[in-house]
Amino acid sequence: MTPRARFSPSPTGPFHVGGARTALFNWLFARHEGGAFLLRNEDTDRARSSDHWLEGILDGLRWLGMDWDEEIMRQSERSEEHLAAARQLVEGGQAYWCDCTREAIEARKGPGGGYDGFCRDRGLGPGDDRAIRFAVPREGATTVTDVLRGTPTFENATIDDFVIVRRGDAPMFVLANVVDDEFQRITHVIRGEEHLSTTPKYLLIRRALGLGTDPAFAHLPLIVNERREKLSKRRDKVQLLSYRDEGYLPEALRNYLALLGWAPREGEEIATLETMVEQFRLEDVSRSPAMFDVKKLNHFNGHYIRELGAGEFAAAARPFVEPAVERFDPELFTQVAPLAQTRVDRLADVPELLGFLFSDRVEFDEASWEKGIAKNEWSADVLRDAAAAYVEAAWETEALKDTTVAIGERHGLKLGKAQAPIRVAVTGRTGAPRLCGSLAALGRETTLQRVNGALERI
RNA sequence: GCCCCCAUGGUGUAGCGGUUAGCACGCGAGCCUUUCACGCUCGUAGGGAGAGUUCGAGUCUCUCUGGGGGUACCA
């Protein structure tokens, strides 16, 4: 039987990096096994779900390079099937109608307690203000067979009778899950560890429904923050597409995400999609929570940025630079983009680096001004000298270098030192692309303007 | 409270009873260098605690401790 995995997000918010990782592992598994990767839109929470969020999820999947098989299943269109299953359970005495309110339950059991089975034997029929609960066997235990975690076993007595259909004929998550996994003939349920403790409920429903062979489960380790808590949308930066907006490359993010709980068998962490597909095995996935480490992500992104061809890099960076500068010049940008390629980890950092070439004035970074100009009493002399020498100099990188070396020699300075005040005068900062190439790109007129401007500022 | 999961340097991991505990990120130093980067080299730091099994344990068992997840008429 060919394996069939699924990613089943609920479209109730921006696509989450944790969801992306789950999708990726499902996808890698399916592709490695030559199986199917299916998508299911779990929109049973009608109040919170929207197609807008679904679009974001699909966008994110495509961006990361994942494709899917067959048509996307929309869970809300299958409520008839879910309700039929619930009806079957009620008829079989494995589920029952319940009219208890939250308040009534708390009044009986005190706050925080679970459901007490009050309605189990009351023989209630259907009603608009009634829900259907699953009658969990009072005896026995339910064992989950998990590829990663062995056989966690849950005493049935510790599981409360849970709701499978809400008031108003709205099927709940576990029920819909069981019915739809069966319908889609899912063989492998690969999802986050937060679902492990609801899995016995899933299994209990399957048994009660008389379904055949259970799917295999793999509960992936959670992705946590620096405080070791599950990534939360309130505290942590979890929106997948916000990474795209900051200039992370999909191959970098995808590679990094794959490493959260998994490592290629042989050595290299930097791996192509093909390699990952080839090497991915579910049983190699780690069990312990993994922290989302932006520093490492940045390193990966920098690596992939450097792997781009010059033209590719310019094309990728352009959308970040164009809107961020005063007057964008596409030709000039193509010419100078390589100056930035080894200097950034994120494309969104390019404008800060090259902005001086596309602006009418220099924005001085004060720390740079201090270090490059104010601190050294000879700065003014060098700048005056430069202002004179650059009037006559041939305007081309190599010639400019010779000219600048000569300026330094006249003041007893090596190029490395002599260029510092000039760099700050022209770019506003101390760490920047190579000076002479930058001057060549900037042009004689602007260069002179800025050198003189700095002289006035001293 | 109850249930379940997890535990190798700061972080992500390799190891599957015998290794000087490997790799990557980070951090530090050096080299390279037109500053800053990139790149390269070296360094830094580790199996939560305690019992047991064994000739031998990060690897197997148990207890404890710590962390996390779940416990909704959310998914």
DSSP string, A331-392: HHHHHHHHHHHTT-SSGGGHHHHHGGGG-SS----HHHHIIIIIT-TTHHHHHHHHHHHHHH
CA of A431 to C1' of B31 (A): 20
Say which residue the tokens 């192509």 belong to.
A272
Q: Which sign does the torsion angle of CA A336, A341, A342, A348 carry? A: positive
Q: How many CB atoms lie within 10 A of CB A86?
A: 23
Q: Which residue is nearest to nucleotide B69 (CA to C1')?
A: A194
Cα–Cα distance measured from residue A348 to residue A245, given in angstroms and rounded to the nearest whole number: 8
Closest CA to A342 of A376, A308, A386: A308
Contact between the CB of A115 and strand B at under 7 Å? yes
Asked whether residue A130's C-beta has any atom of DNA/RNA strand B within 7 A, the reply is yes
Per-residue tokens: A413: 């300075």
Alpha-carbon distance of A201 to A142, in angstroms, equals: 9
Which residue's CA lies closest to nucleotide B36 at its C1' atom? A431
Contact of A38 with A73, CB cutoff 8 Å: yes
Does the CA dihedral A121-A122-A127-A131 come out positive or negative?
A: negative
Distance CA A237, CA A389 (A): 50
Catalytic residue among A109, A233, A237, A414: A233
Q: Which amino acid is at A102?
A: R
Nearest nucleotide (C1') to alpha carbon of A440: B34
Q: What is the DSSP letter of A124?
A: -
How far does the CA of A176 sit from the C1' of B73, in Å? Answer: 15
HEC secondary structure over A143-158: ECCECCCECCEEEHHH
Distance CA A35, CA A7 (A): 14
How does pLDDT run across A251-294, given as a tens digit for each residue?
999 999 999 999 998 768 999 999 999 999 999 999 999 999 99
Spatial distance from the CA of A37 to the C1' of B59 (Å): 35
pLDDT score of A111: 65
Residue A112, pLDDT score: 62
Q: Is the CB of A234 under 7 A from strand B?
A: no
Is residue A233 among the annotated active site residues? yes
Predicted local distance difference test score (pLDDT) of residue A1: 82
Instruction: Enter the tokens of residue A377.
Output: 């009493």
Measured between alpha carbons, how far is A110 from A45 in angstroms, rounded to an integer? 28
The list of chain A residues with pLDDT below 70 reads 110-113, 267
| pTM attached to this predicted model | 0.95
Tell me the pairing of strands A36-41 and A4-7. Answer: parallel
> What residue has token string 């299953």?
A85
Q: Say which nucleotide is closest to residue A200, CA to C1' distance.
A: B4
Contacts of A242 (CB under 8 A, 6+ apart): A14
